[in-house]
Amino acid sequence: AKVLLTGGSGFIAAHILELLLKRGYEVVTTVRSEDKASKIRAAHPNANLTVVIVPDIAQPDAFDEVVKTPGLEAVLHTASPFHFNFTDAKTELLDPAIMGTTSILKALKSSAPGVKRVVVTSSFASILSVAKLEDPTKVFSEADWNPNTYEQGAKGDDKAVSYRVSKTLAERAAWKFVDDEKPNFDLATINPPLVFGPVVHHINSLAAINTSNARFVDLIQGKMKDGVAPTGTHFWVDVRDVAKAHVEAMERTEAGGKRFFCTAGNFCNKEIVEIMKKKFPDLKDQLPGEDFKGGEYPEKGPPKCDNSRATKVLGIEWISLEKSVVDTVTSLQALGA
């Protein structure tokens, strides 16, 4: 079967691409530059793979041509900005996220009648509410939606809020499109929190490390030696489980019409540091010493999660934090960290 994967150069998408090829799919993937396209082609020389350039996903007709690829049966839409180095939230973040999602769905409805399932990479950002992030009695699940508005995101004065709004409104737009337009396909969304895990080396460099692995680079480079940074949101998942969730959500009939909170559970930076100290004694000089401070859970404990839907419907077994940390650090060291 033939599958379209957008954003094939991304941290998560690189793992999805590997899994799709391993499972025997023919893959068409989009990236925005020839440089990235040639790296992906070179890494998969004998694969059943076509790499197509889509330079700007914020254009309403961005995907009009690629969706006409004959024989497409499923689409995985991962491309969306995940970084905080933007100056204009609307054009650099909200437009590519929201218009990128609606433009691909519109194009599929008009030109890809064979597509039966679309999987959109959403986020825990679309689930969380900031007020509950320090509430130990809260159990986050697929039933929750981020209440932030377009206006809050477009202001751009809080970059995390802008990112969260971009994901929330992109996901809402996808569900609304399917409800209103009754297209030939149904929808599933994958909503991961912070994604850790090994990077696929041909498309990554330390200087341009993906946002969610940045704390590992900081730790390896000694930047938290005198104080561990606050954790942020206390949920995480390994990238290999996220890739698997996408492919299972594409393959399993019963995943249609569902969002999936894909998380292995709670973590805090202190736990990451403890694992690194135990498993990488060579990093002793860069890591915090005994009785280090920072990166703890909130005093009353973190909020909780219900990941039972992804566990049952997608069959995810959840890689442990220790394995994920060890594999992430090993992979970053191979990149030169």
CB of 179 to ligand NDP, least distance (A): 21
Burial of 33 (0-12, 13-18, 19+ CB in 10 A): exposed
Q: For ligand NDP, give the closer residue by CB, 46 or 87.
A: 87
Name the minimum Å distance from CB 22 to ligand NDP.
Answer: 19
Binding piece for ligand NDP, criterion CB under 6 A, among 2-10, 128-136, 270-278, 288-296: 2-10
Q: Which is nearer to ligand NDP, 92 or 271 (CB)?
A: 92
- Give the residue with the Cβ less far from ligand NDP, 193 or 288: 193
User: Which listed range, 72-80, 137-145, 153-161, 266-274, lies at the site for ligand NDP (CB under 6 A)?
Assistant: 72-80
Residues of span 92-111 touching ligand NDP by CB under 6 A: 96
Q: Which is nearer to ligand NDP, 17 or 275 (CB)?
A: 17
Longest C-alpha distance within the chain, in Å? 61
| 195 touches ligand NDP (CB under 6 A) | yes
Binding region for ligand NDP (CB under 6 A) out of 64-72, 78-86, 177-185, 328-336: 78-86
Task: Based on the shown chain and the rule CB under 6 A, indicate whether residue 7 belongs to the binding site for ligand NDP.
Answer: yes
- Between residues 188 and 288, which has the closer beta carbon with respect to ligand NDP? 188
Nearest partner of 116 among 253, 319, 245, judged by Cα: 253
**Distance between CA atoms of residues 101 and 7, nearest Å:** 12
Residue 233 interacts with ligand NDP (CB under 6 A): yes or no: no
Residues 143-182 that bind ligand NDP (CB under 6 A): 167
Nearer to ligand NDP, 56 or 296 (CB): 56
Question: Closest approach of Cβ 284 to ligand NDP, in Å?
Answer: 28
- Return the amino acid letter for 145: W
Is residue 32 close enough to count as binding ligand NDP by CB under 6 A?
yes
Q: Contacts with ligand NDP: how many residues (CB under 6 A)?
A: 25
Instruction: Return residues touching ligand NDP (CB under 6 A).
Output: 7, 9-13, 31-32, 36, 56-57, 78-82, 96, 121, 123, 167, 192, 194-195, 210, 212
